[in-house]
Amino acid sequence: MVLTHVLLSAWAAPGPMRDCPLPPDLQRRWDRGTLTEAELPSQLEAWRTAHPDRYGVTEPPPAGTTLVPDFAPMDTLHVALPGWYDHDETYTTLLALASKHGRVRASVMWREDVERIRRRLEGLGARLDRITFEIEHPVDTIWMRDYGPVPVNGPGGPGVLDFGFAPDCTSDDAYPTTSRR
């Protein structure tokens, strides 16, 4: 049985007065002032409709499906690392300790951070052979538990659910789908 448990996520600097950066074309319009707050919901809906591979409707789980509790044993700990340096010690210590007990999937914001994080982990005695760095699928906000793949046990065995997330946090909302590709 393979369960991925999702804890935390990364942070990207928000656009002006937004919780999350918008999709690139909408962000450019927002930054230029050619997209208004009133127009934003319909533009975001159009964006999602144009990208059904990321934002398609998630079917409800079958009867008998239960959420996996936070304290349940797991095969892989999935931690997405924040992109700010003042928390490096906290997150590298977490990764180092977790790697001594099992596999870790570490999602990072920027590719160039991986070598710096590896050096810190080596210094902490981490089991680098158990840590996989995920760098291809960015997220916008810190709490992946709010939008990430939610582990469940269903009648057919373990799986994940993908709930919709805040309409303007398109990278976060797409993460459960895009990160599995």
Q: How far is CA 15 from the centre of its chain?
A: 19
Other C-beta atoms closer than 10 Å to the C-beta of 18 total: 15
Q: Whole-angstrom Cα distance, residue 32 to residue 25?
A: 11
Name residue 157's beta-bridge partners.
Answer: 154
pLDDT at 63: 93
pLDDT at 56: 65
Spatial CB neighbours of 89, under 8 Å, sequence gap ≥ 6: none
pLDDT at 180: 67
Do 80 and 106 form a contact (C-beta atoms < 8 A)?
A: yes
pLDDT tens-place string over residues 117-165:
999 999 999 999 999 988 777 676 667 778 778 888 999 998 888 877 7
Token reading at 14: 């928000």
Residues of the chain whose pLDDT is less than 50?
1-16
Residues 38-61 as b or e (16 or more Cβ within 10 Å = b):
eebeebbeebbeeeeebbeeeeeb
Say if pTM beats, i.e. exceeds, 0.75: no
Do 7 and 77 form a contact (C-beta atoms < 8 A)?
A: yes
pLDDT at 160: 82
